[in-house]
Amino acid sequence: MPQEAWSPKRERQYKHIKESLEDRGQPEDKAEEIAARTVNKERARSGEANEASRTSLVDISSGRRGGLRSHTGSEGRTYDQLRNEAKEKGIPGRSKMSKAELERAVNRKS
């Protein structure tokens, strides 16, 4: 989904975000959409885009927001993140586990 108007830096940013999302279990089409939206928002914030929504300019930056939400806060990792991690570690019965059970299983297997 990279676009002609993107600079080489934005192309690299898009590729990095897309690969990261795919590594975390997102389907390719969803990863492409999120990566493109993120890059376009960053372009708008830095004045590279012709148009920008008010939220793109006022909202917290994508990098900061992601850093705030990843593996922290009262809820920690999402159910999908835990299930993917359990799959990588070969934990049996993970599809029937609750989020709390997945957290315990993943932390035990560390």
Which spans in 1-110 are helix H?
A: 8-23, 28-45, 54-58, 62-69, 79-88, 99-108
Residue 3's pLDDT is what? Answer: 57
Domain extents in the chain: 1-70, 74-110
Residue 45's pLDDT is what? Answer: 81
Residue 5's pLDDT is what? Answer: 76
* Per-residue pLDDT of the chain in tens (110 residues, 90 and over written 9): 555 678 899 999 999 999 999 998 999 999 999 999 888 888 888 778 777 777 777 767 766 666 655 555 556 778 888 898 899 999 999 989 999 899 899 888 76
pTM across the whole model: 0.52
